[in-house]
Amino acid sequence: MHTLKKACELAEAGFEYFTNIEGTQCSENTSKSWDINVKSSHIRLNIQTCILRRIEPKRVIEMYIWFFVCATCMFIAVILHFKSVEHVKLQKKYGKERGARIGEVLGAVSGTMEFVFLIGLWISPQPKFTIPIFSNLAFPVADISIPLLNLVVSLSLIIPGAWIAIWGVRAIGLKVAETHGAPRKLEITGAYSIVRHPQYFGWILAHIGMSILFSVSYSMLFTPILLALICLISKKEEEELIKEFGNEYEDYKKDVRMLMPWL
């Protein structure tokens, strides 16, 4: 059983799938034999694999539909996020109290969507990848075998990412972070002395780390798009913060980087 599981991992790493997965079938000219030597048991297996390109388009769509749903919903969440931080505009249009309440609702909805669908990007079915160094060393977790190097690299990103994000949330308060509400004062100390948007910096690190941990190719390829979305959100938030804090925020921008300390 362990041998078959190892063979499956090797096949998936090459973006190839067994003939009995997802009901796909291979023709003779698309099948090939994998000769796998498992040193622990000295067993040699011949496994018939099917090239992914021969899978019917309908089956491919069914297999990866959840990833594309999550990616699409991330874009919708960003649009709502934009609306939620327009504090001055909302208060002028609906009044101070009602405008603030509408902004908080939009912020809570968009924040929840971003959190849920970001996790969806990590766990949705998609091709796997393996870092091609010490790939034979794995750490078993329940029914999942995580390559040891993937685990080490991912934790080195997830832990500091989570730490700086939580540090930033504690500085401005949970309510402001959850609802994208207007802060009472401009926070420039602690995590905000490292980057202007520590939660988003932590978000980027955690996303890359989780993509490596679960070895998910599409999620990793989505990283530049996620980074672009976060940059757009950050710029939008800063436009609103300049309206609220004026020159004080302009001076802060000159001294502290937006998302990454070294860029």
Percent of the chain predicted with pLDDT > 90: 49
- Residue pLDDT, tens place only, 50-87: 434 444 566 667 668 899 999 999 999 999 999 999 98
The whole-number pLDDT of residue 211 equals: 95
pTM of the predicted model as reported, rounded to 2 decimal places: 0.74
The whole-number pLDDT of residue 56 equals: 54
Whether 11 has a pLDDT exceeding 90, the answer reads: no
Whether 158 has a pLDDT exceeding 80, the answer reads: yes
Percent of the chain predicted with pLDDT > 70: 72
**Which comes out higher in pLDDT, residue 184 or 4?**
184
The whole-number pLDDT of residue 165 equals: 93
Average pLDDT taken over every residue of the chain: 79
The whole-number pLDDT of residue 235 equals: 94
d(CA 104, CA 174): 12
d(CA 258, CA 239): 13
Residues of the chain within CATH 1.20.120 domain(s) are 57-255
- Residue pLDDT, tens place only, 77-92: 999 999 999 988 998 9
Whether 198 has a pLDDT exceeding 80, the answer reads: yes
**Which comes out higher in pLDDT, residue 23 or 224?**
224
Backbone angles phi and psi of 146, in degrees to 5: -100, 120
Residue 130 banded pLDDT, cuts 50, 70, 90: confident
Distances (CA, A) of 136 to 10, 131, 133, 149, 183: 10, 10, 8, 10, 50
Residue 143 banded pLDDT, cuts 50, 70, 90: low
Nearest residue to 99 via CA among 242, 240, 246: 240
CATH of range 57-255; options 1.10.357, 1.20.120, 1.10.238, 1.10.3470: 1.20.120
- Residue pLDDT, tens place only, 200-251: 999 999 999 999 999 899 999 999 999 999 999 999 999 999 988 999 999 9
Read off the tokens for 189: 């100390």
d(CA 57, CA 24): 11
